């Protein structure tokens, strides 16, 4: 009964086109944001920041980016790990070369660098489709990681190829380095995610988003009504890579602070982010967040539940955790192949009618 849109009239196309046309949704999201921005920083500690929330934010950002490419434009990519590496190394090079450059600008520039690289590796998509493209993007994954491992310039000629983030302040708050407070790093990453989540939503609900979806749903028809596949696909690669690059930058600067390319950005990253996209819901901004949340939180949850509550040995717990994760993925796919976003939608539809379904 609480969730009714009766009596809310749309007075123009403006309100009809807004992201949350239903008033209750707006309240809910405002409340949620208030908790995320105000309440969480008050109670956050190192564990929550480093093991739960930062991973969540960083992966949500990467998932958002990949969802633009896979979910909206229909181009499957397995190069995410490599593109995240580009973002990370770009921010490292920029921040060590220009120590006074604001970290926000560093990250945005890193995103731009990644976008350029993404466009380059997106070129084959003009000819190659489907799983062939997916496997072809692995070329980017392996090549980029090899490159950053091989060319010493990228890691400032240190002995091992490992990069470490120096401490940096933004608006007087220490954001990176070990002394940064969990609240500051969290808010910094959260800021990025809120802004770019909104930006993503704006892009996909406008002309460019429709262009991408047209290419995804029927590329030939799209071309016949004037969408240029070249522009559509490459812009999707660019925007997607920008997000992934910023995510890689955040991964390195605020979350990890030190990474080694062969491990931090290996192929598992690429798969992981793709799982998040699919399980969250292809072509859904909300789904990107839900997918990232599921795959970040579920293992921690299962682990803590088994180890701390049931007292299972750490190793057995790990095996069970992997198995359960697989079972859950299959289970959710069977229940709703279109991911959590669709489940959420169905739930909302039900709620809209509750408690009088007829």
What residue ranges in 246-330 does DSSP mark as E strands? Answer: 258-260
What is the full DSSP assignment across 211-260? HHHHHHH-HHHHHHTT--HHHHHHHHHHHHHHHHHHHHHHIIIIIISEEE
Map the footprint of other proteins across residues 59-88, applying CB under 8 A: 70, 76
Give the nearest distance from C-beta 7 to other proteins in angstroms: 19
Q: Which is nearer to other proteins, 8 or 17 (CB)?
A: 17
Total interface residues for other proteins by CB under 8 A = 115
**Interface with other proteins (CB under 8 A), residue from 6, 7, 179, 357:** 179
Q: Is 191 in the site for other proteins (CB under 8 A)?
A: no
Q: Which span (29-37, 46-54, 83-91, 110-118) binds other proteins, by CB under 8 A?
A: 46-54
Q: Are 118 and 83 in contact (CB under 8 A)?
A: yes
Buried b (16+ CB within 10 A) or exposed e, 47-61: ebbbebbbbbbbbbb
Map the footprint of other proteins across residues 297-316, applying CB under 8 A: 297, 300-301, 303-305, 308-309, 313-316
Q: Which is nearer to other proteins, 119 or 325 (CB)?
A: 325
**Interface with other proteins (CB under 8 A), residue from 175, 203, 273, 285:** 203
Q: Is 183 in the site for other proteins (CB under 8 A)?
A: no
Map the footprint of other proteins across residues 114-133, applying CB under 8 A: 124, 127-132
Give the nearest distance from C-beta 331 to other proteins in angstroms: 8
Dihedral pair phi/psi, residue 256, rounded to 5°: -85, -40
Distance CA 220, CA 74 (A): 13
Q: Is 225 in the site for other proteins (CB under 8 A)?
A: yes
Distance CA 155, CA 305 (A): 40
Distance CA 23, CA 2 (A): 11
Bond preceding residue 306 cis, omega within 30 of 0:
no
Map the footprint of other proteins across residues 244-263, applying CB under 8 A: 256-260, 262-263
Q: Is 150 in the site for other proteins (CB under 8 A)?
A: yes
Q: Which span (29-37, 83-91, 101-109, 227-235) binds other proteins, by CB under 8 A?
A: 227-235
**Residues β-bridged to residue 258:** 164
Q: Is 106 in the site for other proteins (CB under 8 A)?
A: no
CB neighbours of 206 closer than 8 A, spacing ≥ 6?
none
**Interface with other proteins (CB under 8 A), residue from 89, 283, 285, 295:** 283
């Amino acid at each position: 009964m609480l969730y009714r849109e009766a009596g809310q009239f749309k007075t123009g196309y403006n309100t009809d086109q807004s992201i949350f046309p239903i008033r209750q949704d707006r309240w809910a999201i405002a409340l949620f944001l208030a908790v995320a921005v105000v309440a969480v920083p008050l109670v956050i500690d190192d564990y929550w920041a480093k093991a739960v929330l930062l991973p969540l934010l960083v992966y949500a950002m990467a998932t958002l980016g990949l969802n633009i490419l896979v979910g909206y434009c229909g181009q499957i990519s397995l190069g995410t790990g490599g593109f995240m590496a580009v973002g990370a190394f770009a921010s490292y090079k920029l921040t060590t070369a220009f120590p006074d450059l604001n970290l926000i600008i560093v990250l945005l520039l890193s995103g731009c660098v990644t976008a350029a690289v993404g466009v380059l590796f997106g070129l084959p998509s003009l000819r190659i489709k489907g799983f062939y493209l997916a496997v072809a993007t692995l070329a980017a994954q392996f090549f980029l990681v090899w490159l950053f491992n091989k060319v010493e310039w990228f890691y400032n000629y240190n002995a091992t190829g490992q990069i470490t983030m120096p401490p940096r302040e933004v608006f007087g708050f220490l954001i990176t380095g070990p002394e940064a407070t969990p609240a500051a790093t969290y808010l910094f990453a959260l800021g990025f995610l809120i802004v770019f989540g909104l930006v993503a939503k704006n892009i996909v609900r406008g002309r460019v988003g429709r262009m991408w979806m047209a290419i995804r749903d029927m590329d030939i028809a799209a071309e016949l009504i004037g969408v240029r596949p070249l522009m559509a696909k490459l812009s999707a690669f660019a925007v997607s890579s920008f997000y992934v690059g910023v995510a890689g930058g955040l991964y390195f600067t605020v979350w990890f602070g030190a990474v080694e390319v062969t491990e931090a950005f290996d192929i598992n990253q690429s798969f992981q982010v793709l799982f998040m996209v699919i399980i969250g819901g292809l072509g859904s901004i909300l789904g990107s967040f839900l997918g990232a949340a599921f795959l970040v939180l579920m293992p921690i949850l299962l682990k803590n539940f088994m180890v701390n509550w049931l007292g299972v040995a750490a190793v057995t717990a790990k095996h069970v955790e992997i198995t359960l994760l697989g079972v859950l993925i299959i289970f959710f796919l069977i229940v709703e192949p279109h991911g959590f976003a669709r489940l959420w939608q169905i739930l909302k539809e039900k709620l809209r009618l509750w408690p009088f379904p007829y």
